[in-house]
Structure 1
Amino acid sequence: MIRNYMIFNSILVILLFWSCSPKKTPATKDLNIGALVQPVSEKHKLISQDYHIWGASVLKGFDGKYHMYYSRWKYELGHMGWVTDSEIAYAVAEKAEGPYHDVNVALPARGKEFWDGTTTHNPTVFKKDGKYYLYYMGTTSPVKAQQPTSMKNKDWWIYRNNQRIGVAWANGPAGPWHRMDKPVIDVDEDPSAPDALMTSNPAINIAPDGSIFAVYKVVGKQNGWQPVDMKNDDSYQVSKGSRVRYMVAFADNPLGPFKKHDETIFEMPGSEDEHMIAEDPYVWSQDGKYYAIVCDIKGIFTGDKGAFALMESGNGYDWNQAKHPLVLPSRVLKDNGTRTEYKLERPQLLVEDGVPTFLFGALGITVNNVHRGHACNLRVPLNR
């Protein structure tokens, strides 16, 4: 009896010690998305003979289907027509790998009197609390652009400088989508701010604490900046703005308001004078961290110019390259053993139940010796 009592006390002491000891949670495994990348098949290409197709954002809906929102504009307008005539179309699939079938135009042109009246472009989408939120770049212009348009045209820069970030919301993936009368992230009123001229290309998702965070493209106004003067052939040279950079903002609600962090992000020592370092991020959070996939314009993060690089942050505004920065090389391997002629752009990741399953990217195609004579979107499978 005494012996059983002593054994019981010993077990009790061990249990009390165990319950009072600090728990050790398993260390988060370092993300290595590049190790998951598989060769791309022709069947994983979204292409149209009638349209240029660019950025595509995909999510698994509340209905279990896969919903894609992508940029497109008429083929005859040429590549640079994205800034004047892009629209965001909607397609659906039963499986993540597709095929995707067009349903409707989610955000069509609605008239130059609206801030997003002529163009909707570069969508990114997520779902929260039973609703769908679609973020995008919108722009407008009082001047109808000459077509095919070009960065050499003054009117092109009016559309570019009027770019702003908007959000639309819907109860179902096919809409109807409700748009706002004003941008959700506008330019700063301070003429010296990094985002004084334009805001564009939103990357927006749910933060580790359940709030909303936005990473977005910005251009400021350099000294001597002037708006485009259509009567002066050279005026647009001083209208282009300063360096292209990225900023971050936070909100409690998907519809805003967003509070901006003042400093630019993705900066690296020695790159202060570079026109652009990173481009077109996709952002998300997991395991208490913020993550971004960016196009490594200068090869600073991966050593490969044009590759996709993985960045990470603990607070959303201090960013560093991840332990395994290379997500996708600048020339993508296809399942026939060849590689793409150009880099992919506009990375978008499909994450299902915390597991990345597909990486989407826009691809320019040479046609009749014309660079980006056509464009499509690739779905890069990831090994699960």
Structure 2
Amino acid sequence: MLFLSNSCKNNSSVSEESNVKKSDASVNYFKLDLGKPTLKSKFENDTWSIWGGSMVKGNDGLYHMFYSRWKKELGWAWVTDSEIAHAVSNTPFGPFTFRDVALSSRGSNYWDGLCTHNPNIHKFDGKYYLYYMGNTGDGKTTTFPGKLVLNPSHRNNQRIGVAVSDSPNGPWKRFDTPLINTGTHENALDALMVSNPSVTKRPEGGYLMVYKAVGKQKPGIWGGPVVHCIATSENPTGPFKKYDQPVFQTKDYDFPAEDPFIWYQKGKYRAIVKDMHGAFTNVGRSLVLFESEDGFDWKLSDTPLVSELKIDWANGYTQTVDHLERPQLYIENGKPIALLCAADIKDSQNVIHSFNVQIPILE
């Protein structure tokens, strides 16, 4: 028979306690590790600027990507000329083939009549919900290849909508009023414009949305500050209740974050966020990970870095890009499969060339 001394017993207790802590840590640990996409996962076009893909699987077994596009000859004219197009593939990693335009222009008298942009697609209870930004305005496009020229009448008329269909192939039912409009109070966080919705289903029922907003506290046509807001609803088509509580903020930077994609996994809400300035890590502009217990109080994850401004291609080439943003996860059976991002580079003439990429998520 083997007898343990008190010191051995204490060591055993410490070891057991350490194992428990390690076990708890492993339960709470969450990190997104990116694989290396092949070139078939690069979606681009010679005549169209491509941006912001979001993916869903259809009952036909195909993968349907919704993305923003506008004529490349117009320059970086997303704010006036973007439309949401639809492409399909046999795999989540492409190659994707253009099928049709899901949300086209429909007249300046509609709130989303001249521009549709930044899709966020979901399948909820058998129906497909395409969340997006739409706007109208004076319809004037400033053709200036390689340069970003924002038309303020379109930029400040950005609103959030949703289109609904029984199939990702459409037809899509659009609505005559926005899903999220600007706040009616002059000091509202979203008094000037709203954009870039991301929606997820809540585990207790209902839906959570995070969206970009601009207020009117700052003087001038562009307003400010730029923040992100929370809204909830019992139904995917609303009405959504807004909360006067900005998220993804930091005292050291004005407009620190953009393009959050939210989802729920392993007992917490998660968000991939574009770090505009290196506000949240020491690597500069990047994609970073946030988490939340309730969807309202967000904190930076323990392992926050998702990606720097680069793509590690499967052929061994590491491509540095000017922007890597509009992160959208494709999630299947509760598991992230692919990270969809928009990226761009400039040529020797300083003209912007953009594309979408589907990056595999590692186990």
The normalised TM-score by structure 1 is 0.84
Alignment of 1:350 onto 2:330: yes
CA distance in 1, matches of 2:37, 2:139: 41
SS at 2:80's partner residue?
A: helix
Equivalent in the alignment of 2:104: 108
CA distance in 1, matches of 2:339, 2:188: 33
Q: Is the 8 A contact 2:142 2:149 kept in 1?
A: no
1:340-384 Cα shifts (integer Å, max 9, x gaps): 23231100111111211111111112123315x211111111223
5+ residue gaps, structure 2: 1-22
CA distance in 1, matches of 2:99, 2:40: 19
Equivalent in the alignment of 1:31: 30
Deviation, 1:247, is 0.5
| 1:260 maps to amino acid | K
Equivalent in the alignment of 1:300: 279
Deviates more, 1:166-175 or 1:134-143: 134-143
Equivalent in the alignment of 2:16: none
Alignment of 1:266 onto 2:245: no
Alignment of 1:41 onto 2:41: no
| 1:96 maps to amino acid | P
| 2:335 maps to amino acid | V
Structure possessing the higher radius of gyration over alpha carbons: 1
Q: Is the 8 A contact 1:312 1:320 kept in 2?
A: yes
Equivalent in the alignment of 2:263: 284
| 2:112 maps to amino acid | D
SS at 1:200's partner residue?
A: strand
Superposed, 1:121-140 pairs within 5 Å as 121-140=117-136
Q: Which has the higher strand share?
A: 2
CA distance in 2, matches of 1:302, 1:356: 23
Structure 2 counterpart of 1:147, from 143, 153, 167: 143
Structure 2 counterpart of 1:99, from 75, 86, 95: 95
Q: Is the 8 A contact 1:208 1:287 kept in 2?
A: no
Q: Is the 8 A contact 2:43 2:355 kept in 1?
A: yes
Equivalent in the alignment of 1:177: 172
SS at 1:125's partner residue?
A: strand
Equivalent in the alignment of 2:74: 77
| Identity over aligned pairs, percent | 43
Equivalent in the alignment of 2:59: 62
Deviation, 1:171, is 0.4
Structure 2 counterpart of 1:253, from 229, 235, 239: 235
Give the superposed CA RMSD.
Answer: 1.9
For these two proteins, the number of residue pairs brought into alignment is 339
Name segments (4+ residues, structure 1) moved above 6 Å: 24-27
Alignment of 1:367 onto 2:347: yes
CA distance in 1, matches of 2:51, 2:139: 25
Alignment of 1:214 onto 2:218: no
Residues 329 and 131 of structure 1: is their aligned pair in 2 closer, same or farther, counting only changes over 3 Å? Answer: same
Equivalent in the alignment of 2:317: 337
Deviation, 1:39, is 2.2
CA distance in 2, matches of 1:306, 1:300: 8
